[in-house]
Amino acid sequence: MRAACTDTANRLPACFFSNLLTAQIARDVASARKAGLASLASGPQQPITTTKAIALTNSTDFHGFKLNGSIVRALAEEKYLTPTPIQAQTIPLVMAGRDVIGIAQTGTGKTAAFALPILHHLAAHPRPLVRKSCRILVLSPTRELSGQILDSFRAYGRHLRVRAALTIGGVSMGAQVRTLIDGLDVLVATPGRLLDLVQSNAVRLGEVECLVLDEADRMLDMGFIHDIRKIVAKLPARRQTLMFSATMPRAIAELAAQMLREPVKVAVTPEATTVERVDQRLIRVDRAGKPAALIGVLRNETIDRALVFTRTKHGADKVVRGLLRAGIAAQAIHGNKSQNQRERTLAAFRKGEVRTLVATDIAARGIDVDGVSHVVNFDLPNVPETYVHRIGRTARAGAAGVAISLCDSEEVGLVRDIEKLIRMSIPVSGRRQAHEHPPKLAAPHIVPPRPAASAPHKRGKPRRSDPARRDRYREQPHENPDAIAAVRFLQRPLPPRSNIDRRPSPWAGHSKGS
């Protein structure tokens, strides 16, 4: 091989000139490509950073987006006629292949904003599925939210041949592994379980065409940032990335700058604002008076469904026990509950069998129930943005709602942070102390306190003192007031003296010194 590249006169190798020619051609191609890209950048396709720089389809119905007919038919069956503002601005951008950052309040239809154009893309560009792979990857922070996203994909794509599945924690991983074997179109997952499947070689992320991060701010609050970075590192560099959130903290902006490519920011409302149809109230109360204040709110308000937020899992269980003692049916949902328990509790809340649901922030992120009329903050959140997510559980789908926060003296600073974030002052509707007007309980079974025990009996059992019996005994007339005669029955008859003298002494016949 070496002799074929050289001549017999010991001159330069012939392949040297061939390599020079190849390198020159490569440089020419690179320079031409750079010039072409520069001309494209200087042309009409400039990077777009806001929705004002692109002509959006201002459609009053879903027909104006030119979606697939099967999708439009499914939307009509779901009685979705008019797109929401976030949908009207996001759907054309996603269909054009742009990366999008969507900022909108909770309950404004963000799921449909990315699910509809993704389903249109799958219908317009079908291709064979790859084993253990997926074309669309959707990440969400909680199991409940992941399940609702999957339900939306199945509802909108019911007339399409789209394979979609769910991978979440809290359930067996075997069934999820079997589902992934033949490949999927859409995979909705939580970051932790997805990494477990990736590490066990049950799923490969090299075929992902579009990545969706839903509730991105909450995933950062829950500490999923490292898991997200690991997942993104395994994705193809050439992909479409969509990020949706209700708030836009600095950490989200930094993450978007690293993951998205020239993204378009769609903000239909100011960041971290609350829904205008929510009537927000604040009740000043001592820490010890919060359970009584909560019972009063649930009894005095006209409530269809109430969602009560606590800061901890133990606090949620404690609140439920207090409500049950007061005769108010309630159940708790938090991370310590199994997935089956959480699903049963959420199903009972949707059906109206349980009208009061006590939840933590993490579990409640996936609660999407239209009939929630009241949200009660038993504990105010430490993160102001969480307040926006909490009260966003009510006033959904155009309805009105009420958000009541119980604030003690230690939470005054949290209220100021929340008011600064939402740019408004929360009116104080009441002030209660722990001893003021405790609500009547619904005849709970209360065990009376045990009276103080008197001197112990000879057999060791404590003798209980009955005041009523003692008073009755004192009121009874005594015929013989003589104390000695009254206790004469206690005297024992003694044996006759003669019998005592006749008994032989055991020391008879012994001297004192023996």
Copy the structure tokens of residue 259.
Answer: 């993951």
Chain centre distance of CA 385: 14
Confidence (pLDDT) at 102: 93
Q: Which of 204-208, 286-290, 295-299, 506-510 has the lowest mean pLDDT?
A: 506-510
- pLDDT score, position 20: 41
Segment 191-198 long-range contacts (CB within 8 Å, at least 24 positions apart): 191/139, 191/141, 191/219, 191/224, 191/227, 191/228, 191/231, 192/224, 192/227, 193/167, 193/168, 193/169, 194/139, 194/167, 194/227, 194/231, 195/227, 195/230, 195/231, 197/167, 197/173, 198/231, 198/234
pLDDT of residue 497: 56
Query: What is residue 426's predicted lDDT score, i.e. its pLDDT?
Result: 93
Q: What are the structural domains, with CATH classification, of the chain?
A: 51-267 (3.40.50.300), 278-432 (3.40.50.300)
Nearest Cα to 250, choosing from 272, 283, 281, 226? 272
Nearest one of 358, 370, 228 to 294, comparing CA atoms? 358
pLDDT above 50 (res 323): yes
Q: What phi and psi, each to the nearest 5 degrees, are found at residue 368?
A: -120, 80
pLDDT of the residue at 129: 94
Confidence band, pLDDT 50/70/90 cuts, at residue 136:
very high
Cβ contact 432:294 at 8 Å: no
Query: Do residues 238 and 265 make contact, with C-beta atoms less than 8 angstroms apart?
Result: no
Asked if residue 409 lies in contact with residue 286, where contact means CB atoms within 8 angstroms, the answer is yes
> Is a pLDDT exceeding 50 seen at residue 14?
no
What radius of gyration, in Å, describes the C-alpha atoms of the chain? 38
Q: Is the pLDDT of residue 495 over 80?
A: no
In this structure, the number of other CB atoms found within 10 A of the CB of residue 222 comes to 18
Q: Residue 258: helix, strand or coil by DSSP?
A: helix
Q: Give the separation between CA 147 and CA 188, rounded to whole angstroms.
A: 8
Q: What pLDDT shows up at residue 310?
A: 95
Q: Are strands 210-213 and 401-407 parallel, antiparallel or unpaired?
A: unpaired
Res 444: pLDDT: 46
Residues 171, 404: Cα–Cα separation, whole Å: 35
Tokens found for residue 288: 């010890």
Which span out of 47-61, 88-102, 222-236, 499-513 was modeled with the highest average pLDDT? 88-102
- In the chain, pLDDT over 70 holds for what percent of residues? 69
CA atoms within 13 A on the CB side of 366: 28
Query: What own/partner pairs with CB < 8 Å and gap ≥ 24 does 424-428 have?
Result: 424/274, 426/280, 426/281, 426/282, 427/280, 427/281, 427/282, 428/281, 428/282, 428/283, 428/284
Q: Which two tokens stand for residue 441?
A: 């309980």
Split at pLDDT 50, 70, 90, the class of 138 is very high
Structure confidence at residue 452 (pLDDT): 52
Ranges of beta strands (E only) in 369-414 are 374-377, 401-407
In this predicted structure, the answer to whether residue 514 has a pLDDT above a threshold of 50 is no
Q: Contact, 31 vs 40, CB < 8 A?
A: no
Q: What is the mean pLDDT of residues 421-437?
A: 75
Decide the pairing of beta strands 306-309 and 331-333: unpaired
Closest CA to 297 of 378, 394, 369: 378
Residue that wins the pLDDT comparison between 495 and 292: 292
Other CB atoms within 10 A of residue 3 CB? 7
Report the pLDDT value the prediction gives residue 42, as an integer from 0 to 100: 34
Confidence of residue 41 (pLDDT cuts 50, 70, 90): very low
- Contact call for residues 394 and 373 (beta carbons, < 8 A): yes
